[in-house]
Structure 1
Amino acid sequence: MEKNIGTWYGQANISCTSDILDKRKNSIKAYLEEGVEWEFIKSIIKLFIKGKDNKQDKFKESFADIFIKDDSAFSYEQDKEIQLLAGIMLNEILKGKNKYNTMIELSCICLKNYYDPASEEIFNNIEKGFYDSLKQLRENEDNECIKSDFGKSLQSMLKENPSLPQSNINDEVAKQLESLKRNIINLVNNFEKMQKINDLKSEDSEVLWWMIGEWSYDLNKPFKDIDDNFIPILIGKEMADKVNVFPGPYSAKAVINKILSNYEDGRLYIYNYAEKIEKDWLDRFVKEYYIEPIADFMPILKYFNKINEIDEEDYSDDKLEKICPAIIKKVKILNKDIAYEIYLECLLSKAYKDREE
């Protein structure tokens, strides 16, 4: 933030003096020092990404109050700057490497296809953080474990030194206990590390066999027997099913593209894909992955939930357009893109459930 805030203001065409920028930075730092919870983070994500389409007037005012405390000239009407500041605050939260990072990154990426964030560069930072964590997940894992050295037991030391003074015995007991504590911690860390390595290897193996086998586990039949319009939705969901370790495999997009390379590069409206989904499968899919508290960050799943509820045959109906305006854009989507979007939304759902547990 220290180096980039001036650049971000300039890119957003918002004029600001260095004194005002310092006040903005201080306001953000002071607020974050108190700690933030998911409900607040959800609101600033929507404020940053959705911009003018955001209906959070009350939250926008409370967010503006953070900066009015340090700058009485700051106004609730400065929509553009408020949205930019929401993005800057998100950027600062992500630096903290907290438990919400994956959810923040996924929420922003899932919404980006439907809205224009207040700052493209801040969004790019958030997206880069997600993909960097995908690479680091496997790059940092190896089979080297911390060696444990329990040394000589106190009993053997007494046998070797029967004349050891009482005061020294107490010192040796303290040393032994400290050594024991360190070695127990090492053993636990080694176990957790090996468990994570095993989970990663299992995940990679499952994804590889699924891709090579070209077989749907959900429908228990080969991909080639599934409708071309339904297959992208199914592939996105089944790819997410394979994730054991967050934030998932770096190769996910390449795997999805590889499977769909056997099909024509279809480019359809969202309801064209939805029309070919098998009803029973859709019901199971929605029950497994749709989560109401984060519905705003999963537009496709929100749309599928609605068509599942109203059981409409015409998925392009005006009623659905009013319910899910973001998803019913009159824009055709590539099958590879919708498959990856489904994957990311399912991943967000899994990350939310993991946090709740």
Structure 2
Amino acid sequence: MHSNFNDWFLEASITLRDDQLKNRWEGVEEISKKATKDDIINLVKIFYSMPVDKNYKDTFAETFIKIDAAFSRKNEIELAVLAGAVLAQIAIKYNLYSFCELLVRAAFFGNRRPAVSGIYQVIGQTQLDDMITIRESTNDEKNIQTSSMTLAKALETSGNAWTPDVANGFNGYAKTIDASIKELNDAVNKICKANKVYFEDSQLLWWLTAGWSKDLRCSYKLVNSLEACLIIGKEAAELVRIYPGPYSIEGVLYKVVEYCKKNTAKLDFSEVISQIDGEWKKRYNEKYDIPNMLELLPVTAALAYSENTESKNEWIHKYNHEACISVDEIKCAPFEYAVQMYFEVLAQKCYFDL
């Protein structure tokens, strides 16, 4: 059981007995170890108190009812806490941790908040730790085990006859070779991973140094931050191949945004969306199209809803209702929009790659 499990319930003003906590954690473990990437999408929706498929929600609640018949499927707040606990456990322990971390982060925007901030902080810290581990582990060194001369010595002393000593020597020699091959294979895999990290870093460095937009086909110095902030986040994410990405990415995005003209302190969200070129928006919506995830990705949803609308702000009403975010309340710096777009694109790429 996570050491903060009880604290998460207390933050949501829910008090449970020790036996109830134990039962709830049993359900958390059962769900987290079987979770798929599509389950994670639904879990994030529950965690953020957003509309979710009824069948999934009933199945989720049923896991806890089987363990504790007194559990109520109608307690929306407790379900949200438990969904968050499952997400935290996946982030800490299971193979889908990167997608889980990225989607929880991407869903956090504007006035949308998760059920328990403590869970969000745990997942965020786990994501940062994973980012650091990817880069720092490439510097580890390990010597490959070499085979002993046991077999050669046994053959020498036996006059090359097949004796029990030779048989034992051969057995030991074979085990040593097998262990060496395994270590060599691990080392080669580690080198390949390190090369991917170095390639990713070099790509980001070239992009940062050049200050050139692939999508706009011009220097970022020629465009203003209102037009470029979302494109900056997208282009950075498309250079990342190892999830959950580099821990220094926000510094990279900050530098690129600084290249732009008119780096206004705060921009209205609706204005940022309306300034995006229609053709670019169409290409983006065609490339990144995961319908069940759309409402969890605030910028991506806005780009989808705003395409082909007759008036500038026609999409806002539908967006406010379905994405559970008030557009009029969102006012961020260009850098913040770039970071948000980066995590949304990276979460979608991670989903496609799983």
TM-score by length of 2: 0.87
Q: Output aligned runs, 1:126-141, within 5 Å.
A: 126-141=123-138
The 1:137–1:85 alpha-carbon spacing in structure 2 relative to 1, beyond 3 Å, is: same
The 1:259–1:2 alpha-carbon spacing in structure 2 relative to 1, beyond 3 Å, is: closer
Q: What residue number does 2:96 align with?
A: 100
The 1:153–1:287 alpha-carbon spacing in structure 2 relative to 1, beyond 3 Å, is: farther
Letter in 1 for 2:39: F
Q: What residue number does 2:18 align with?
A: 18
Compute the displacement of 1:163 (Å).
4.0
Alignment pair present for 1:303 and 2:302: yes
CA distance in 1, matches of 2:16, 2:322: 37
Letter in 1 for 2:107: L
Cα deviation 1:254-300 (Å, max 9, x = unaligned): 11112223442342233312233233333333333333343233232
Instruction: Give the secondary structure class of the aligned counterpart of 2:118.
Output: helix
Compute the displacement of 1:81 (Å).
1.5
Alignment pair present for 1:162 and 2:168: no
Give the paired residue count.
350
Alignment pair present for 1:275 and 2:271: no
Compute the displacement of 1:45 (Å).
1.8
Unaligned runs of 5+ in 2: none
Q: What residue number does 1:246 align with?
A: 243
Q: What residue number does 1:292 align with?
A: 291
Compute the displacement of 1:60 (Å).
3.0
The 1:112–1:317 alpha-carbon spacing in structure 2 relative to 1, beyond 3 Å, is: closer
Cα deviation 1:222-255 (Å, max 9, x = unaligned): 1112243121011101111221322111111111
Letter in 1 for 2:319: E
The 1:89–1:324 alpha-carbon spacing in structure 2 relative to 1, beyond 3 Å, is: closer
The 1:180–1:233 alpha-carbon spacing in structure 2 relative to 1, beyond 3 Å, is: same
The 1:71–1:186 alpha-carbon spacing in structure 2 relative to 1, beyond 3 Å, is: closer
Q: What residue number does 2:229 align with?
A: 232
Q: What residue number does 2:352 align with?
A: 353
Moved more, 80-89 or 149-158: 149-158
Q: 1:197 aligns with which of 187, 194, 198?
A: 194
Alignment pair present for 1:258 and 2:245: no
Q: What residue number does 2:218 align with?
A: 221
Q: What residue number does 1:5 align with?
A: 5
The 1:320–1:224 alpha-carbon spacing in structure 2 relative to 1, beyond 3 Å, is: farther
CA distance in 2, matches of 1:69, 1:338: 43
Moved more, 79-88 or 63-72: 63-72
Query: Are the equivalent residues in 2 in contact too, given 1:299–1:326 (CA < 8 A)?
Result: no
The 1:247–1:55 alpha-carbon spacing in structure 2 relative to 1, beyond 3 Å, is: closer
Query: Are the equivalent residues in 2 in contact too, given 1:302–1:324 (CA < 8 A)?
Result: no
CA distance in 1, matches of 2:16, 2:22: 10
Q: What residue number does 1:178 align with?
A: 175
Q: What residue number does 1:333 align with?
A: 332
Compute the displacement of 1:37 (Å).
2.6
Compute the displacement of 1:209 (Å).
2.4
Letter in 2 for 1:329: V
Unaligned runs of 5+ in 1: none
Moved more, 148-157 or 83-92: 148-157
Alignment pair present for 1:111 and 2:110: no
TM-score by length of 1: 0.87
CA distance in 1, matches of 2:243, 2:278: 30
Moved more, 280-289 or 80-89: 280-289
Alignment pair present for 1:91 and 2:88: yes
Query: Are the equivalent residues in 2 in contact too, given 1:300–1:327 (CA < 8 A)?
Result: no
CA distance in 1, matches of 2:104, 2:32: 23
Query: Are the equivalent residues in 1 in contact too, given 2:42–2:56 (CA < 8 A)?
Result: yes
Letter in 1 for 2:341: I
The 1:3–1:328 alpha-carbon spacing in structure 2 relative to 1, beyond 3 Å, is: closer
The 1:33–1:107 alpha-carbon spacing in structure 2 relative to 1, beyond 3 Å, is: closer
CA distance in 2, matches of 1:267, 1:5: 37
Q: CA RMSD in A?
A: 2.7
Letter in 1 for 2:97: N
Cα deviation 1:306-356 (Å, max 9, x = unaligned): 434x3656244456536754456212232111110110011111211221x
Letter in 2 for 1:10: L
CA distance in 1, matches of 2:95, 2:89: 14
Q: What residue number does 2:42 align with?
A: 43
CA distance in 1, matches of 2:316, 2:11: 37
